[in-house]
Structure 1
Amino acid sequence: MRNELKKIRVSIIDNSEEQVKSELYGIFSSLILSKKIAPKNSDLKGIMSELNFSFKEYVFKSRTILLSRIIRAIEKMDEKEVSILIEKLINFIEVDDILNQKTKVSYKKKKKNIFDDIFNQLG
Protein backbone atom coordinates (compact mmCIF):
# COMPACT_ATOMS: atom_id res chain seq x y z
CA MET A 1 0.00 0.00 0.00
CA ARG A 2 2.92 2.35 0.69
CA ASN A 3 4.10 2.01 -2.92
CA GLU A 4 0.65 2.92 -4.19
CA LEU A 5 0.71 6.09 -2.09
CA LYS A 6 4.11 7.08 -3.42
CA LYS A 7 2.80 6.64 -6.96
CA ILE A 8 -0.15 8.87 -6.10
CA ARG A 9 2.18 11.51 -4.66
CA VAL A 10 4.06 11.57 -7.97
CA SER A 11 0.87 11.46 -10.01
CA ILE A 12 -0.49 14.57 -8.30
CA ILE A 13 2.00 16.54 -10.33
CA ASP A 14 1.63 14.55 -13.53
CA ASN A 15 -2.04 13.60 -13.69
CA SER A 16 -5.45 15.12 -13.33
CA GLU A 17 -7.12 15.58 -9.99
CA GLU A 18 -9.83 13.07 -10.89
CA GLN A 19 -7.31 10.32 -11.57
CA VAL A 20 -5.62 10.94 -8.22
CA LYS A 21 -8.99 10.82 -6.47
CA SER A 22 -9.92 7.56 -8.17
CA GLU A 23 -6.64 6.03 -6.97
CA LEU A 24 -7.44 7.24 -3.46
CA TYR A 25 -10.83 5.55 -3.69
CA GLY A 26 -9.08 2.25 -4.32
CA ILE A 27 -6.64 2.72 -1.46
CA PHE A 28 -9.39 3.61 0.99
CA SER A 29 -11.43 0.64 -0.24
CA SER A 30 -8.52 -1.64 0.59
CA LEU A 31 -7.89 0.10 3.90
CA ILE A 32 -11.47 0.01 5.12
CA LEU A 33 -12.50 -3.41 3.83
CA SER A 34 -9.32 -5.17 4.99
CA LYS A 35 -9.73 -7.23 8.15
CA LYS A 36 -5.94 -7.36 8.54
CA ILE A 37 -5.62 -3.64 9.12
CA ALA A 38 -8.73 -3.27 11.26
CA PRO A 39 -10.13 -6.58 12.53
CA LYS A 40 -13.09 -4.85 14.20
CA ASN A 41 -15.22 -2.06 12.82
CA SER A 42 -14.52 -0.09 15.99
CA ASP A 43 -10.81 -0.05 15.07
CA LEU A 44 -11.67 2.01 12.01
CA LYS A 45 -12.83 4.89 14.20
CA GLY A 46 -9.28 5.50 15.43
CA ILE A 47 -7.85 5.22 11.95
CA MET A 48 -10.35 7.70 10.53
CA SER A 49 -9.76 10.16 13.37
CA GLU A 50 -6.02 10.09 12.62
CA LEU A 51 -6.86 10.98 9.03
CA ASN A 52 -9.21 13.79 10.23
CA PHE A 53 -12.44 12.13 9.18
CA SER A 54 -15.23 12.31 11.73
CA PHE A 55 -18.59 10.64 11.37
CA LYS A 56 -21.45 9.71 13.63
CA GLU A 57 -21.23 6.48 15.56
CA TYR A 58 -23.66 4.54 13.35
CA VAL A 59 -21.41 5.01 10.30
CA PHE A 60 -18.73 2.84 11.92
CA LYS A 61 -21.16 -0.07 12.30
CA SER A 62 -20.87 -0.83 8.58
CA ARG A 63 -17.69 -0.78 6.54
CA THR A 64 -19.58 -0.13 3.32
CA ILE A 65 -21.37 2.90 4.75
CA LEU A 66 -18.05 4.22 6.02
CA LEU A 67 -16.46 3.67 2.63
CA SER A 68 -19.25 5.54 0.86
CA ARG A 69 -18.85 8.49 3.22
CA ILE A 70 -15.09 8.55 2.70
CA ILE A 71 -15.51 8.46 -1.09
CA ARG A 72 -18.03 11.29 -0.91
CA ALA A 73 -15.66 13.35 1.26
CA ILE A 74 -12.74 12.76 -1.11
CA GLU A 75 -14.91 13.69 -4.07
CA LYS A 76 -15.65 17.10 -2.50
CA MET A 77 -11.98 17.84 -1.70
CA ASP A 78 -9.89 20.26 -3.69
CA GLU A 79 -6.34 19.54 -4.84
CA LYS A 80 -4.69 20.97 -1.72
CA GLU A 81 -6.89 18.94 0.63
CA VAL A 82 -6.17 15.79 -1.38
CA SER A 83 -2.42 16.30 -1.09
CA ILE A 84 -2.75 16.85 2.68
CA LEU A 85 -4.80 13.66 2.94
CA ILE A 86 -2.15 11.70 1.03
CA GLU A 87 0.57 12.95 3.39
CA LYS A 88 -1.49 11.94 6.44
CA LEU A 89 -2.17 8.55 4.89
CA ILE A 90 1.53 7.99 4.22
CA ASN A 91 2.39 8.95 7.80
CA PHE A 92 -0.30 6.62 9.14
CA ILE A 93 0.98 3.68 7.10
CA GLU A 94 4.59 4.30 8.13
CA VAL A 95 3.63 4.46 11.83
CA ASP A 96 1.48 1.36 11.43
CA ASP A 97 4.39 -0.52 9.83
CA ILE A 98 6.69 0.46 12.70
CA LEU A 99 4.13 -0.67 15.29
CA ASN A 100 3.60 -3.97 13.47
CA GLN A 101 7.34 -4.63 13.43
CA LYS A 102 7.56 -3.96 17.19
CA THR A 103 4.66 -6.29 17.95
CA LYS A 104 6.16 -9.03 15.79
CA VAL A 105 9.43 -8.80 17.69
CA SER A 106 7.74 -8.80 21.08
CA TYR A 107 5.56 -11.72 20.02
CA LYS A 108 8.60 -13.76 19.08
CA LYS A 109 10.13 -13.08 22.48
CA LYS A 110 7.07 -14.36 24.33
CA LYS A 111 6.69 -17.54 22.30
CA LYS A 112 8.24 -20.59 24.00
CA ASN A 113 9.76 -23.51 22.22
CA ILE A 114 10.25 -27.07 23.53
CA PHE A 115 13.79 -27.12 22.17
CA ASP A 116 14.68 -23.94 24.05
CA ASP A 117 13.64 -25.63 27.31
CA ILE A 118 15.80 -28.68 26.51
CA PHE A 119 18.81 -26.49 25.68
CA ASN A 120 18.34 -24.52 28.90
CA GLN A 121 18.25 -27.74 30.95
CA LEU A 122 21.39 -29.12 29.29
CA GLY A 123 23.27 -25.88 29.76
Structure 2
Amino acid sequence: MSIQSCVTIINEWDIVAARQLGRNVAKELGFGTVDQARITTAISELARNIYLYAGKGQICIDKLNDAGKAGLRIHAADNGPGINDIRQVMEDGFSTSGGLGAGLPGVKRLMDDFHIESETGSGTQIKATKWLR
Protein backbone atom coordinates (compact mmCIF):
# COMPACT_ATOMS: atom_id res chain seq x y z
CA MET A 1 0.00 0.00 0.00
CA SER A 2 1.33 3.46 -0.79
CA ILE A 3 0.08 7.02 -0.56
CA GLN A 4 1.65 9.44 -3.02
CA SER A 5 2.32 13.20 -3.00
CA CYS A 6 4.03 14.98 -5.89
CA VAL A 7 5.78 18.25 -6.71
CA THR A 8 6.27 19.37 -10.31
CA ILE A 9 9.81 20.66 -10.83
CA ILE A 10 10.01 23.70 -13.11
CA ASN A 11 12.10 26.19 -11.13
CA GLU A 12 14.46 26.35 -8.15
CA TRP A 13 11.62 27.02 -5.70
CA ASP A 14 10.11 23.67 -6.67
CA ILE A 15 13.33 21.98 -5.47
CA VAL A 16 12.75 23.60 -2.06
CA ALA A 17 9.09 22.47 -2.09
CA ALA A 18 10.08 18.88 -2.94
CA ARG A 19 12.66 18.85 -0.11
CA GLN A 20 10.05 20.16 2.34
CA LEU A 21 7.50 17.56 1.23
CA GLY A 22 10.08 14.80 1.71
CA ARG A 23 11.09 16.06 5.16
CA ASN A 24 7.43 16.29 6.26
CA VAL A 25 6.62 12.77 5.05
CA ALA A 26 9.81 11.37 6.63
CA LYS A 27 9.01 13.07 9.94
CA GLU A 28 5.41 11.82 9.79
CA LEU A 29 6.63 8.24 9.26
CA GLY A 30 8.94 8.48 12.27
CA PHE A 31 12.35 8.82 10.59
CA GLY A 32 15.01 10.36 12.84
CA THR A 33 16.72 13.65 12.00
CA VAL A 34 19.74 11.95 10.37
CA ASP A 35 17.56 9.91 7.99
CA GLN A 36 15.38 12.98 7.35
CA ALA A 37 18.54 14.80 6.25
CA ARG A 38 19.57 11.87 4.03
CA ILE A 39 16.13 11.80 2.40
CA THR A 40 15.99 15.57 1.82
CA THR A 41 19.54 15.53 0.40
CA ALA A 42 18.57 12.74 -2.03
CA ILE A 43 15.43 14.65 -3.07
CA SER A 44 17.43 17.84 -3.52
CA GLU A 45 19.91 16.10 -5.81
CA LEU A 46 17.20 14.39 -7.89
CA ALA A 47 15.09 17.55 -8.19
CA ARG A 48 18.17 19.61 -9.10
CA ASN A 49 19.02 17.11 -11.85
CA ILE A 50 15.50 17.43 -13.27
CA TYR A 51 15.75 21.22 -13.20
CA LEU A 52 19.25 21.35 -14.74
CA TYR A 53 19.06 18.60 -17.34
CA ALA A 54 15.39 18.01 -18.22
CA GLY A 55 13.89 21.45 -17.55
CA LYS A 56 10.71 19.93 -16.16
CA GLY A 57 9.70 16.80 -14.30
CA GLN A 58 8.18 15.51 -11.12
CA ILE A 59 9.27 14.31 -7.70
CA CYS A 60 6.74 12.02 -6.04
CA ILE A 61 6.99 10.70 -2.49
CA ASP A 62 5.29 7.41 -1.65
CA LYS A 63 4.62 6.29 1.90
CA LEU A 64 5.29 2.56 1.93
CA ASN A 65 3.97 -0.16 4.19
CA ASP A 66 5.23 -3.61 3.28
CA ALA A 67 4.27 -6.37 5.72
CA GLY A 68 4.42 -3.98 8.66
CA LYS A 69 7.68 -2.42 7.43
CA ALA A 70 7.32 1.34 6.89
CA GLY A 71 9.30 3.35 4.41
CA LEU A 72 9.38 6.12 1.87
CA ARG A 73 10.04 6.00 -1.89
CA ILE A 74 11.18 8.96 -3.95
CA HIS A 75 10.17 8.71 -7.59
CA ALA A 76 11.89 11.23 -9.87
CA ALA A 77 10.58 11.34 -13.43
CA ASP A 78 11.17 13.54 -16.44
CA ASN A 79 10.77 13.51 -20.21
CA GLY A 80 14.14 15.17 -20.79
CA PRO A 81 17.03 14.13 -23.02
CA GLY A 82 17.74 10.98 -20.99
CA ILE A 83 21.12 9.66 -19.87
CA ASN A 84 23.40 8.28 -22.57
CA ASP A 85 25.65 6.26 -20.27
CA ILE A 86 24.11 5.29 -16.92
CA ARG A 87 27.28 3.47 -15.86
CA GLN A 88 29.29 6.67 -16.32
CA VAL A 89 26.91 8.91 -14.33
CA MET A 90 26.96 6.34 -11.51
CA GLU A 91 30.74 6.76 -11.12
CA ASP A 92 31.87 8.86 -8.16
CA GLY A 93 33.31 12.18 -9.28
CA PHE A 94 31.61 12.24 -12.70
CA SER A 95 29.93 15.59 -13.33
CA THR A 96 28.49 17.25 -16.40
CA SER A 97 27.54 20.44 -14.51
CA GLY A 98 30.94 21.18 -12.97
CA GLY A 99 29.60 20.19 -9.54
CA LEU A 100 31.23 17.80 -7.09
CA GLY A 101 29.89 14.77 -8.90
CA ALA A 102 28.28 13.37 -5.74
CA GLY A 103 24.97 13.31 -7.66
CA LEU A 104 23.40 9.97 -8.41
CA PRO A 105 26.06 7.82 -6.68
CA GLY A 106 25.46 9.96 -3.59
CA VAL A 107 21.70 9.39 -3.81
CA LYS A 108 22.31 5.66 -4.11
CA ARG A 109 24.49 5.69 -0.97
CA LEU A 110 21.99 7.78 1.04
CA MET A 111 19.06 5.47 0.31
CA ASP A 112 18.46 1.72 0.90
CA ASP A 113 17.28 0.84 -2.62
CA PHE A 114 18.02 2.66 -5.88
CA HIS A 115 16.77 1.94 -9.40
CA ILE A 116 17.34 4.01 -12.55
CA GLU A 117 15.90 3.69 -16.05
CA SER A 118 16.72 6.13 -18.82
CA GLU A 119 16.24 6.23 -22.54
CA THR A 120 17.98 8.79 -24.76
CA GLY A 121 15.36 11.23 -26.00
CA SER A 122 12.63 9.87 -23.73
CA GLY A 123 13.63 10.85 -20.21
CA THR A 124 14.64 9.28 -16.93
CA GLN A 125 12.87 7.49 -14.07
CA ILE A 126 14.60 7.02 -10.73
CA LYS A 127 13.15 5.28 -7.69
CA ALA A 128 14.98 5.46 -4.38
CA THR A 129 13.64 3.89 -1.17
CA LYS A 130 14.48 4.38 2.50
CA TRP A 131 13.13 1.95 5.09
CA LEU A 132 12.39 2.91 8.67
CA ARG A 133 14.77 1.09 11.05
TM-based fold match above 0.5 = no
Kindly name which structure, 1 or 2, has the bigger radius of gyration based on alpha carbons. 1
Point out the structure with the larger helix share. Answer: 1
**Structure (1 or 2) with the greater strand fraction:** 2
Q: What is the TM-score of this pair, normalised by structure 1?
A: 0.32
Higher relative contact order (CA 8 A, sep 6+): 1
Q: TM-score, normalised by structure 2?
A: 0.30
